[in-house]
Structure 1
Amino acid sequence: MTSTVPVSPIRLAEGSALQAVLLDMDGTLVDTEGFWWEAERDVFAELGHELDDAWRDVVVGGPMTRSAGYLIEVTGADITLPELTVLLNDRFEKRIGLGVPLMPGAGKLLAELTAAAVPTALVSASHRRIIDRVLHSLGPSHFALSIAGDEVARTKPHPDPYLIAARGLGAEPARCAVIEDTATGVASAEAAGCRVVAVPSVAPIAPAEGRVVVGSLEEVDLGFLRKLITVTN
């Protein structure tokens, strides 16, 4: 099991300006964004409310408190935020217990980073209980550490999760490549000063300075990530 604290000293990547790779989880490495929407839809149906599909783009990629709070507000559901958070995590955890499909190219990329000894962190807005369950499918040995949304004072879109991950790996944010699938995650990584590869899952993400948009992780390998980092010592 990984955590926000590395279990051993981290050796930074050699041979290029790239020092570390930081990856989002839901929708980036594992095909679970749809699972979250299913959990939200089912829980609210039991509360007597039907969710509008248009709301999906609003809640995707954000912290649980923001997404759940928004859905309570727009539906008028008679439930507190803490109560809803527990219900959603329980429903999602039950769903992923049946298996978590990896996104195309995710397994190959993680294997390449591990083989090259590139320091890698998992940075997610999901809670620790969810991350640890998904890590069984991803392979915890691929990550030196992981950052959970309920372990930081401010999660995405704030820069804190990526700043904490870079610091935990002993890397400079500007020399970290981040892979994200949502605008919320991209905003977090860019605010931290990292170079971003966006792989949109639910909603489109426009290219921008310092950001590369690809259609799939199958387009991303270590050579691709090294070329993104142009900072010199």
Structure 2
Amino acid sequence: MDGTLVDTEPYWIDVEFEIAERHGGTWSKQHALNLVGNDLLESGRYIREHMGIDRSPEQIVEELLDGVVDRVRQAVPWQPGALELLTSLRESGVPCALVTMSYERFVAPILGHLPAETFRVIVTGDTVELGKPHPEPYLTAAAALGLRPEQCLAIEDSNTGAKSAEAAGCTVLVVENHVPVLDGPRRVFRDTLVDVDLAAVWGEDR
């Protein structure tokens, strides 16, 4: 979701700098970009270590969520082509799952802007034991859809997410956003979701 359907990465980065200022820590844009696509609790551990603040990873995650949820409630920054793609898939009856390492309380206000049937399955970071880049999130989503991962196309914008989907066995459509993504055996690259031809993407991996 983050960086793929909605461009919320700037929200996360802004809140990270706010946390550093609030607790007397230090932070950098490079540290922020290192967290793109990561499991939130793992990000909390990274922030604690590299920001140098006396907060637990769990406390850091809650502060991150508080700040980003406030911003999302004010405005949802949809990626170009995202809403059109979701509408097309829904109208075509293609079963979709949302696989994100964000927590449910952040996801909820974004999903509130979409028809209820947009996603048949929702997998969030607080519902899996092992987050991306582990394959568990995508394996969980595929199983809940009643499909094999090999029958699924994942859309990702980060190496962490692409690794997770690829390890599960999915074909991965990569649309880079804030960080570069390495090439991979099951990865197909496009510049945007605008007018993307998913059938062509699927065929390109065959």
Flag whether TM exceeds 0.5 (same fold). yes
Deviations 1:13-66, CA, capped at 9 Å, x for gaps = xxxxxxxxxxxx010001111111111111221111231111122111101111
Mapped pair 1:156 → 2:132 = yes
How many equivalent pairs are there? 206
Mapped pair 1:83 → 2:76 = no
Instruction: Provide the TM-score with structure 1 as the length reference.
Output: 0.84
Higher relative contact order (CA 8 A, sep 6+): 1
Mapped pair 1:34 → 2:10 = yes
Q: 1:55 aligns with which of 6, 31, 37?
A: 31
1:88 is paired with a residue of what secondary structure? helix
Aligned residue number for residue 218 of structure 1:
194
1:137 is paired with a residue of what secondary structure? coil
Tell me the CA shift for residue 167 of structure 1: 0.5
Instruction: Provide the TM-score with structure 2 as the length reference.
Output: 0.95
Mapping for residues 58-73 of structure 1, pairs under 5 Å: 58-73=34-49
What value does the CA root-mean-square deviation take over the aligned residues? 1.4
1:80 maps to a residue whose letter is S
Give the 4+ runs in structure 1 shifted more than 4 A: none
Alignment gaps of 5+ in structure 1: 1-24
Q: Percent identity?
A: 37
Deviations 1:173-196, CA, capped at 9 Å, x for gaps = 011000001110001000101000
Tell me the CA shift for residue 149 of structure 1: 0.4
CA distance in 1, matches of 2:116, 2:164: 23
Deviations 1:111-134, CA, capped at 9 Å, x for gaps = 111111001000000001111111
Q: 1:110 aligns with which of 82, 86, 90?
A: 86
Tell me the CA shift for residue 222 of structure 1: 3.7
Aligned residue number for residue 7 of structure 1:
none
Aligned residue number for residue 169 of structure 2:
193
Tell me the CA shift for residue 229 of structure 1: 6.3
2:156–2:173 CA contact under 8 A, matched in 1:
yes
Aligned residue number for residue 19 of structure 1:
none
Aligned residue number for residue 99 of structure 1:
75
CA distance in 2, matches of 1:141, 1:221: 22
Alignment gaps of 5+ in structure 2: none
Moved more, 83-92 or 187-196: 83-92
